[in-house]
Structure 1
């Protein structure tokens, strides 16, 4: 009997093949032909799952988002908003080899999204979700602050996470996991301790 193939697992394997090609040769080389060769599949077999390169790249980008979502969803419930923030933010940054690979591929796709409308739409969705996540962490850390203060702190936290991700990809020897954790801890210390206006958005 022919071996049964799990389509979900096969698509995951193909996405991982895209990662390897992108990290080794760059996103421009991630053609259907090259990815099929990397995955050990024929062109016909790969096109059974992805009819065109655009579908392949879209799926790969969404796979990264889903992996991060699953990791965050698997975090234990935490009543302490500071500890919750530290754990969630650590899942967004390249703290180990797996997340470093995600980060490198993600940044390659981000650059491509500047000229690819399909990828741009996915990238914008991810941007908005990250900002919403930062906003929720800030809301928990500063429950009594006015909305406009929390929006400012959301901007700062979002920019810090994005900046650390870029620095870690370009200078991993400098922006080590320890240094990134220290930067996050310092920012959260300042966030919790700095005096700010209280009350409604029109105050102070």
Structure 2
């Protein structure tokens, strides 16, 4: 009997192969053939799902965003339910840490995302997803900033604090991908924690 292949499993295999190729050789090297070779698949198996490089990369980035979103969603409930300020602060830090390259999985996601957004600068077909992801990150950070205002007085106007925190996350991510020997997970975590500590003052 012919082997029955689950489409979702096959797509996950291809996405993981895309990540490995981009991490090792760069965005433009993630061709259908190279990704098929990396995944140990026939080129026809990959072409069955993807029309070309752009289609493949958009799908891989969408899958990556879905993975990150699922992890963030798992943390939302406990964070919203927390009454203890220390637990809330820990929950906010933990949620934002999902966006930083603190371990191999998140470093791979950040590496591929950085390659994708860089390519999107000159490739209009990639720009809608790049904008969507960036807007999503800003919306998450704004929700966190607005949540802080319910318990503390912000050091600056909410829009400014949102941009400041987004800039920190962006900067730590870029440095963590490009200079992991210097921008270590411990340093990224300490910088994020310190920023959150200085974000606001207790309400009187």
TM over 0.5: yes
Structure 2 length-normalised TM = 0.89
Cα deviation code 1:28-53 (max 9, x no counterpart): 11111111111111221111111222
Structure 1 length-normalised TM = 0.89
CA distance in structure 2 between the partners assigned to 1:12 and 1:134 by the alignment:
28
Give the 5 Å matches for 1:30-179. Answer: 30-75=30-75, 77-78=78-79, 79=82, 80=85, 81-143=88-150, 149-179=157-187
Larger CA deviation: 123-132 vs 21-30: 21-30
Cα distance, 1:138 vs structure 2: 0.5
Cα distance, 1:73 vs structure 2: 1.2
Cα distance, 1:145 vs structure 2: 5.4
Corresponding residue for residue 29 of structure 2: 29
Cα deviation code 1:2-24 (max 9, x no counterpart): 12111011011101111111111
SS at match of 2:157: helix
CA distance in structure 2 between the partners assigned to 1:43 and 1:172 by the alignment:
34
Cα distance, 1:173 vs structure 2: 1.1
CA distance in structure 2 between the partners assigned to 1:168 and 1:31 by the alignment:
26
CA distance in structure 1 between the partners assigned to 2:149 and 2:91 by the alignment:
13
Unpaired runs of 5+ residues, structure 2, are none
Q: Which runs of 4+ in 1 moved over 6 A?
A: none
Unpaired runs of 5+ residues, structure 1, are 196-204
Closer, same or farther: CA 53–44 of 1 in aligned 2, 3 Å: same
Give the 5 Å matches for 1:187-202. Answer: 187-193=195-201
Supply the RMSD in Å over aligned alpha carbons.
Answer: 1.9
CA distance in structure 1 between the partners assigned to 2:63 and 2:194 by the alignment:
31
Cα distance, 1:102 vs structure 2: 0.9
SS at match of 1:193: strand
CA distance in structure 1 between the partners assigned to 2:189 and 2:42 by the alignment:
43
SS at match of 1:115: coil
Matched residue pairs, number? 195
CA distance in structure 1 between the partners assigned to 2:8 and 2:145 by the alignment:
36
